[in-house]
Amino acid sequence: MLQILVQGLVLSGFYALIAVGFTLIFSVGRVLNLAYGSFLMLGGYIYYQGAQVVGLPKFPSLIIAGIAGAVFGMLVYRILVKRLSGNVVAVEIATLILAVVVQAAVVLVFSPSPKSMWPLVPGVLRIGDASVTYNIFIAAVVSWILLGGLFLFTGMTHMGRAIRAVSMDSKGAVISGIDPERVNILTWAISGTFGAIAGVFLATYTQLDPNMWVTPLIIAVAVVIVGGIGSILGSLVAAHIIGMLETITTSLIAAELRGVATMLIIIAVLLVAPKGLFGKSEL
């Protein structure tokens, strides 16, 4: 039982990092970024080039991947999303097409073959009778640190409070003198950073693959549906629910039912609470 609890908490923290970066953009900009999975994929490939091809230290490579994710997120907003602002469907279609284009570019540059990633920290951590790899444990710890930093930033800084204001009432925020353009650029940068770092952890947990953008996008959408679209708090709660449920399912029943369990909980939430557990936009 302790093993399931430890694995579930660790996986949940990782899922929360994936989902919050996705939710943040909707909370502020009211659009679903369907290219979000490509943020993770690019983060993984940039880290791979730095740590395993060039030979840079692992954690500086992780930081470089995060910075690259921030830059990519800002470019996506400025070049693509901003030009289509006001047309939600066009943004969703364009970002989905972008994800496919990025995948094709990755295949062209790096080859379609999957690549094995070295763990950031090798070895196994033992907690009582439970054990978890240091790699996924570090992923969860970094995830919790970043998420905690996000909550502190949005609660204690002027720019963070501006993000909260725009997410609650964009028109009221403009009247109050807040520049929504700066807020949008910042949120896309944060989302890109979270996505890229999550992509590094995902690649070290599984493998580096041009198709790896699909799974985190599904995870993010699942968490957002369960937690409530636009709710950061809802995403955190839903990530832990889904993470624990998947761990229980794979540990006690069968690993092949991981995705089935997630789909069932989505259906259940939609039947009982169509807006999700926290069905309003909040940070």
Angle, helices 214-227/258-272, rounded to nearest 10 degrees: 30
Residue 234 lies in a domain: no
pLDDT band at 178 (very low <50, low <70, confident <90, very high): confident
Residue 6 lies in a domain: yes
Better-scored residue on pLDDT, 14 or 203: 203
Average pLDDT over the chain, rounded to whole?
Answer: 87
pLDDT band at 62 (very low <50, low <70, confident <90, very high): very high
Residue 260 lies in a domain: no
- Among 17-31, 200-214, 218-232, 268-282, which stretch is predicted with the lowest mean pLDDT? 268-282
**282 pLDDT above the threshold of 60:** no
How many domains would you assign to the chain?
Answer: 1
Q: pLDDT digits over 233-266, tens only?
A: 888 888 888 888 888 888 788 776 667 777 888 8
Better-scored residue on pLDDT, 227 or 44: 44
pTM, entire model: 0.89
**96 pLDDT above the threshold of 60:** yes
Residue 53 lies in a domain: yes
Please tell me the distance from the alpha carbon of residue 66 to that of residue 190, in angstroms, as a whole number: 9
How big is the chain by its Cα radius of gyration, in Å? 18
147-150 contacts at long range (C-beta below 8 A, 24 or more positions apart): 147/13, 147/16, 147/17, 147/20, 147/236, 150/20, 150/24, 150/190, 150/232
pLDDT of residue 280: 55
260 to 29, 67, 222, 237, 245: CA distances (angstroms): 31, 35, 12, 19, 11
Structure tokens at 221: 């959408």
Residue 26 main-chain phi, psi, to 5 deg: -65, -40
Residue whose C-alpha is closest to residue 26's, from 266, 238, 235: 235
Residue 167 lies in a domain: yes
Mean pLDDT along residues 119-124: 87
Residue 278 lies in a domain: no
pLDDT of residue 279: 66
Residue 241 lies in a domain: no
Residue whose C-alpha is closest to residue 44's, from 97, 103, 96, 101: 103
Mean pLDDT along residues 153-165: 88
Residue ranges with strand state E in 64-123: none
Q: Exposed, middle or buried: residue 111 (CB in 10 Å: 0-12, 13-18, 19+)?
A: exposed
Task: Quote the domain boundaries for residue 32.
Answer: 2-123+132-213
Residue whose C-alpha is closest to residue 201's, from 41, 5, 1, 9: 41
* Rounded (5°) CA angle 165-171-174: 70
Q: pLDDT digits over 4-43, tens only?
A: 888 888 888 888 888 888 988 888 888 889 999 999 999 9
Please count the other Cβ atoms lying within 10 Å of the Cβ belonging to residue 247: 22
pLDDT of residue 9: 84
Residue 133 main-chain phi, psi, to 5 deg: -65, 145
Residue 200 lies in a domain: yes
